[in-house]
Amino acid sequence: MKSRTSQIIALLMLIAFAGCATGPGTGRNIKIGDMLPGEMISLKDGTRMLCEVQFTSSAQGRGTMTAYNPESKESFQGQYRVILSGSGSSTGVVKDSWGWTTATVKTTSDPKAAARGFLKGDKGTVIDISMDLTPVKSNAQDGVFFFFTGQGTGTDNRDARYQIYFGY
């Protein structure tokens, strides 16, 4: 009986610890610096290019990207920077019908996140990239946000345009 109880407790502890280091709803252990899978689609001819975007946080503020065009056989490497905007807080008071302050209310809003970057190909193509990132607040209450997903657009130096999607 005692060994069966120990096994059940060990199993429950394993399940609890396994859930602590995963991305939201992914079941994957994602660490800062890991590459998240993605796809770039050429709006000129529909070519699908596999890409990867480095998992980062607002504390790091930057990351790397890679892509490969199977039609032109061109490999791309580049970087991006994270831009946070629009967060804030406000405080107000609640008054009763006689004008007495009965409560204080504080509201906060999380920032919106964007990224600007580039991909440089080994055959001379350079793609200017703009992405909207989906911020997820750190559980540590330290004001840090993580970015598991994003989407955006790119335009290269030959006026071709791209749609970009990445993440889990």
Looking at the fold, whether 63 and 15 belong to one and the same domain comes out as: no
Residues 1 and 48 reside in one and the same domain: no
> 78 and 152 share a domain?
yes
Same domain, 3 and 55: no
Number of domains making up the chain: 2
Check whether residue 16 and residue 98 sit in a common domain.
Answer: no
pLDDT tens for 19-65 read 333 444 445 577 888 899 999 999 999 999 999 998 887 777 889 99
55 and 120 co-located in one domain: yes
Q: Over the stretch 88-115, which tens digit does the pLDDT of each residue have? A: 677 888 888 898 988 888 877 666 788 9
Same domain, 16 and 76: no
pLDDT of residue 3: 59
CA distance 95 to 91: 13
Do 79 and 154 belong together in one domain?
A: yes
Q: Kind and range of the H or E element at 16? A: helix 2-18
Please give the pLDDT value at position 42.
Answer: 95
Mean pLDDT of the region 107-124? 87
Q: Do both 10 and 20 map to the same domain? A: yes
Q: What percent of the chain has pLDDT over 70?
A: 76
| Average confidence score pLDDT of the chain | 80
Residues 41 and 123 in one domain: yes
Q: Are 68 and 38 in contact (CB under 8 A)?
A: no
Taking the C-alpha atoms of residue 37 and residue 121, their distance in angstroms, rounded to an integer, is 18
**Tokens coding 14:** 């394993």
Q: Give the domain extent around 10.
A: 1-30
Q: Are residues 52 and 18 in the same domain?
A: no
**Nearest Cα residue to 92 out of 70, 112, 108:** 108
Q: In this model, does residue 149 exceed pLDDT 90?
A: no
Instruction: Please check whether residues 57 and 127 belong to one and the same domain.
Output: yes
Enter the pTM of the model.
Answer: 0.68
